[in-house]
Amino acid sequence: MTSLSEASERYFTYLLSERHLSPNTVNTYRESLSVFGGFLSEHLNITEIEKISPVHIRSFVMEMNRLKKAPASVNTWLSAVRGLYRFLILKEIVRDDPTVAVNGLKVPSRLPSYFRDDQMSFILDQTTTEGTALTPQEDLFVSRRDKAILELLYSSGLRVSELVGLDLDRVFLDDLTVRVLGKGRKERVVPLGERAAEAIEEYLEVRKIYAGSDEQALFINVRGGRTTARNVALRIKNYAATHGFSAHIHPHKLRHSFATVMVSNSKDVRAVQEMLGHEKLSTTQIYAHADIASLSRIYRSAHPRDKMEKPSVSSADRSS
């Protein structure tokens, strides 16, 4: 018999060493399988992989639903279990996959939150380090770095993990491109806007004051080491609070904003899919929602039955 915890650890090692997933992604799988394993152990007294059946997995889904856990969270946990069994079958540890007979929960469709062009212009023009205890030199460094980060996130639609993972030799200011290492260590080349390139160039002038000679990270902290995704998120959150933004600003919202404006203006969903590094086209197609309002306006101005004046109809006409 193979315990669920033992099988899970082998799976995590596989994800890191063979699939080359990021530690953050693997931690998400770890947390999901921990929730699943806790349920099996506490409610069903099951700890071995071989004893798990479709009935047990359905019971897990039903219990999470009864506890009013978010459908998306339940499906994430279930997805981790499916991945574990695909691995176990691949490694011939088990023969059958009990997850194939289990359906996930229906997730209500929700459009991603994003900023309009005018909102983004205002945000990008307000970069400051107000409210931080910095020396004038540190203030200049941090403000230029944060400006470059915001411009790059909106210019190229990077995930925050991709942004903090960028090295100097991955940014080509002359060609206005960025070479990004995305999910599953898949590499893609993303266009870079001129304003973002200018902001990065200004940041690089002060970066050299803090970076060691062997530091390759594009974005660093005041101690000279690579900045983290958590630090970027905190800087953006504090920045939003300083300027009184009612809407919560986070790195992924800038990615949503980039995707929305690109799909809306280019109408080329496949090109945007490639820029975002999405595996499935359907993931990118959700950003076409921004076009609904403009399509309605076009329809009302173009369709003959919407353009034509409504003829007056007399009571005699109505009765005939």
* Catalytically annotated residue among 11, 29, 114, 287: 287
- Active-site residue 267, yes or no? no
Q: Is 193 left (phi over 0), alpha (psi -120 to 50) or beta?
A: beta
| Burial of 214 from C-beta contacts in 10 A (0-12 / 13-18 / 19+) | exposed
- Active-site residue 287, yes or no? yes
| Helix, coil or strand: residue 316 | helix
- Active-site residue 278, yes or no? yes
* Catalytically annotated residue among 183, 188, 195, 243: 183
Q: Are 77 and 62 in contact (CB under 8 A)?
A: no
- Active-site residue 243, yes or no? no
Cα–Cα distance for residue pair 180/191, rounded to 1 Å: 10
* Catalytically annotated residue among 147, 159, 253, 256: 159
Helices (H), ranges, the chain: 4-17, 23-39, 54-66, 71-90, 117-124, 136-156, 160-164, 194-210, 229-242, 251-266, 269-276, 281-285, 291-302, 304-307, 315-319
- Active-site residue 300, yes or no? no
* Catalytically annotated residue among 43, 51, 186, 252: 252
* Catalytically annotated residue among 147, 253, 255, 256: 255
Q: Which residue has the tokens 């289990």?
A: 102
Give me the residues paired with residue 177 across strands: 172, 191
- Active-site residue 223, yes or no? no
Q: Which residue has the tokens 């959150």?
A: 237
Q: What are the strands of the beta sheet with 177-181, ordered from one edge?
A: 171-172, 177-181, 187-191
Cα–Cα distance for residue pair 146/307, rounded to 1 Å: 49
Q: Are 183 and 20 in contact (CB under 8 A)?
A: no
**Which residues carry out catalysis?**
159, 183, 252, 255, 278, 287
